[in-house]
């Protein structure tokens, strides 16, 4: 009878040791208004149940996750993630269901065996989860794809019959009609499986055909509706319910004070600004302002990034076993590890605060909610431009030598000009080690971007891309033109690959490039 499983909500026992912090709205706006959009989804019991199941399944698949924390702020899985408000909502639902059950009992008692009965339906609290009932009734006036119209009345002329005497067949003839019905199934939506009835000379009775037609219509609408829902959840609200739940938990735990808004919506990530809160762990300070990078769980954009991670030996063993959603988490994880390496080398970059699934919280580069401008957006004096260039050159060298990394997406788009004096590097989820099968090509591309930007910006001292490549890598490739240079790079990569194939493990084939630094991985 009960449309929603009664046992779905977590037992109240789990609600006991919840956080003592007051619930806060993660969007930083007035409690009621902003939360109403997300709460409807976030607090749905169905969703919570699914999330719970998934969390269990995924924590089983990621047993090593607790050990990945390496920075001073990374707390792995240890923040309290229970939410008082959510549990309260769940308890309320539980209560409402009991209330309804009682109502039903009373209704039954009241009506007894009486032929005229009174319904208490309007007083019920719980309504079926995402009921499709209204859509299941097919509106027969709707003739968008009316199969009847497509059918030209060629087999039966206007008069309603063909043939003569006892050979006469009317339009009501069972065989003709059945065949016609079978043929009309062709008009159903293409994804609707109708089998090979036509080839079999199947004859569908009107009754069966009408039932099928009705079903086909409602399926079509249902999928259109589901599709629309999905679109809305990704495009309009920027983050899906799961992500909202994660963010909500961060605010509710007190770790973040408020999430003020979105700084950037890229193809692969959405970045939010937040004011930092507190942890109850000593010697851990949350930066006063944070950037939250949410790696998009819509998968399409990540397809072309396969090559970065697939060939990265640090992730090689895990790649093949993972589903796309887990791969996206690996991007976030990769960004965390790379930022930590950079931090340790003293390169100006965001400091990792915490990683939760596909959500990375880091320190905010900027002030009062205004992110530091990208190099591409600032107009620098020629003196500052020159200073910036030398900083970038130095950072590229540090990145290569001390962090054993190649940025792989370095350009004026991913360098921020902070406090009017320092270049900060961001966006390192795709960074790889130089021994990555395409690592040197990525480095060469980075060098091209950097040297073009600064040469165009009037820095006469700026090395050209080949000189810069050698200055960063110490590889001393002598080719004096782009094509030959590229060829030598690829030859080096191939040499390294062959070496790996032969020896089964990654050993740097490059002179002057010692063992990769140990970074807790």
Active site residues: 409
Decide which of Mn ion, ligand ADP, none touches 293; Cβ closer than 5 to 8 Å per partner kind: ligand ADP
Q: Per rule CB under 5 A, is residue 94 in the interface with Mn ion?
A: no
Q: Per rule CB under 5 A, is residue 182 in the interface with Mn ion?
A: no
Decide which of ligand ADP, Mn ion, none touches 345; Cβ closer than 5 to 8 Å per partner kind: none
Compute φ and ψ for 195, nearest 5 degrees. 75, -165
Task: Provide, rounded to whole angstroms, the least separation between the CB of residue 191 and Mn ion.
Answer: 38
Q: Per rule CB under 6 A, is residue 364 in the interface with ligand ADP?
A: yes
> Which range touches ligand ADP (CB under 6 A), out of 93-101, 179-187, 228-236, 363-371?
363-371
Task: Provide, rounded to whole angstroms, the least separation between the CB of residue 427 and Mn ion.
Answer: 4
Q: What is the C-alpha to C-alpha distance for residues 196 and 203, in angstroms, rounded to an integer?
A: 12
Q: Per rule CB under 5 A, is residue 252 in the interface with Mn ion?
A: no
Task: Provide, rounded to whole angstroms, the least separation between the CB of residue 188 and ligand ADP.
Answer: 42
Of 45 and 427, which has the nearer Cβ to Mn ion? 427
In the shown chain, the binding pattern of residues 412 to 431 toward ligand ADP, with x for contact by CB under 6 A and - for none, equals --x-----------xx----
Q: Which two tokens stand for residue 246?
A: 């994660």
Q: Per rule CB under 6 A, is residue 449 in the interface with ligand ADP?
A: no
First to last CA, the chain: 53
Q: Per rule CB under 6 A, is residue 366 in the interface with ligand ADP?
A: yes
Task: Provide, rounded to whole angstroms, the least separation between the CB of residue 351 and ligand ADP.
Answer: 9
Question: CB–CB of 423/391 below 8 Å?
Answer: yes
What's the burial of 364, exposed, middle or buried (CB within 10 Å: 0-12/13-18/19+)? buried
Of 312 and 427, which has the nearer Cβ to Mn ion? 427
**Helix spans in 293-347 (H):** 306-310, 313-319, 324-345
Q: What is the C-alpha to C-alpha distance for residues 234 and 205, in angstroms, rounded to an integer?
A: 44
The DSSP result for 3-64, as a single string, is SS-GGGSPPGGGGTT--SSPP--TTSS-HHHHHHHHHHHHT-HHHHHHHHHHHHHHHHH-GG
Task: Provide, rounded to whole angstroms, the least separation between the CB of residue 91 and ligand ADP.
Answer: 38
Question: CB–CB of 379/418 below 8 Å?
Answer: no
Pick the closest to residue 308 from 432, 410, 426 (CA basis): 432
Q: What is the C-alpha to C-alpha distance for residues 403 and 392, in angstroms, rounded to an integer?
A: 15
Question: Considering only residues 161-200, where is the footprint of ligand ADP by CB under 6 A?
Answer: none
Question: Considering only residues 406-435, where is the footprint of Mn ion by CB under 5 A?
Answer: 414, 427
Cβ neighbors of 147 (< 8 A, separation 6 or more) are 184, 185, 186, 187, 188, 213
> Which range touches ligand ADP (CB under 6 A), out of 37-45, 246-254, 360-368, 475-483?
360-368
Q: What is the C-alpha to C-alpha distance for residues 295 and 267, in angstroms, rounded to an integer?
A: 9
Of 244 and 407, which has the nearer Cβ to Mn ion? 407
Q: Which two tokens stand for residue 375?
A: 């190099």
Q: Per rule CB under 5 A, is residue 449 in the interface with Mn ion?
A: no
> Which range touches ligand ADP (CB under 6 A), out of 203-211, 244-252, 365-373, 455-463?
365-373
Of 257 and 427, which has the nearer Cβ to Mn ion? 427
Q: By the criterion CB under 6 A, which residues form the site for ligand ADP?
A: 263-264, 266, 268-269, 271, 291, 293, 350, 362, 364-366, 371, 374, 414, 426-427
Q: By the criterion CB under 5 A, which residues form the site for Mn ion?
A: 414, 427
């Amino acid at each position: 009878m009960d449309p929603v499983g009664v046992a779905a909500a977590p037992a109240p026992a789990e609600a006991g040791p919840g956080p003592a912090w007051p619930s806060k709205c993660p969007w930083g706006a007035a409690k009621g208004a902003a939360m109403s959009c997300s709460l409807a989804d976030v607090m749905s019991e169905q969703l919570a149940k699914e999330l719970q199941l998934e969390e269990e399944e995924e924590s089983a698949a990621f047993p090593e996750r607790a050990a990945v924390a390496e920075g001073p702020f990374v707390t792995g899985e240890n923040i309290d993630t229970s939410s008082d408000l959510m549990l309260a909502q769940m308890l309320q639902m539980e209560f409402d269901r009991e209330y309804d059950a009682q109502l039903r009992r009373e209704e039954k008692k009241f009506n007894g065996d009486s032929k005229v009965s009174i319904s208490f339906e309007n007083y019920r609290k719980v309504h079926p989860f995402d009921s499709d009932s209204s859509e299941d009734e097919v509106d027969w006036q709707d003739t968008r794809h009316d199969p009847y119209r497509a059918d030209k009345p060629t087999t039966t002329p206007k008069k309603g019959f063909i043939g003569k005497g006892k050979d006469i067949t009317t339009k009501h003839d069972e065989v003709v009609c059945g065949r016609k019905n079978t043929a009309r199934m062709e008009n159903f939506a293409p994804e609707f499986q109708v089998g090979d009835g036509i080839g079999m000379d199947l004859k569908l009775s009107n009754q069966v055909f009408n039932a099928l037609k009705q079903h086909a219509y409602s399926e079509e609408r249902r999928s259109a509706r589901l599709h629309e829902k999905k679109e809305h959840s990704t495009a309009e609200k920027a983050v899906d319910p799961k992500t909202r739940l994660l963010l909500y938990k961060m605010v509710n735990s007190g770790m973040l004070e408020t999430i003020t808004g979105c700084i950037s919506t890229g193809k692969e990530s959405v970045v939010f600004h937040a004011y930092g809160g507190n942890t109850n762990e000593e010697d851990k300070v949350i930066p006063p302002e944070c950037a939250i990078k949410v790696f998009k769980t819509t998968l399409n954009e990540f397809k072309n990034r396969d090559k970065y991670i697939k060939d990265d030996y640090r992730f090689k063993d895990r790649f093949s076993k993972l589903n796309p959603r887990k791969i996206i988490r690996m991007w976030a994880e990769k960004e965390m590890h790379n930022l930590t390496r950079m931090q340790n080398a003293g390169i100006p970059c965001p400091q990792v605060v915490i990683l939760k699934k596909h959500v990375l919280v880091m320190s905010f580069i900027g002030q009062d909610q205004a992110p530091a401008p990208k190099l591409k957006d600032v107009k620098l004096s020629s003196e500052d431009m020159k200073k910036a260039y030398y900083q970038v050159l130095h950072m590229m060298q540090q990145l290569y030598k001390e962090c054993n990394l190649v940025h792989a997406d370095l350009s004026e788009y991913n360098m921020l000009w902070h406090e009017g004096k320092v270049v900060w590097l961001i966006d390192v989820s795709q960074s790889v080690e130089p021994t990555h099968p395409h690592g040197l090509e990525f480095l060469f591309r980075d060098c091209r971007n950097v040297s073009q930007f600064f040469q165009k910006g009037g820095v006469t001292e700026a090395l050209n891309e080949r000189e810069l490549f050698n200055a960063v890598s110490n590889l001393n490739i002598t080719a004096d033109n782009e094509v030959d240079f590229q060829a030598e790079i690829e030859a080096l990569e191939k040499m390294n690959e062959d070496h790996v194939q032969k020896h089964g493990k990654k050993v740097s084939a490059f002179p002057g490039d010692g063992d990769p630094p140990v970074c807790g991985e």
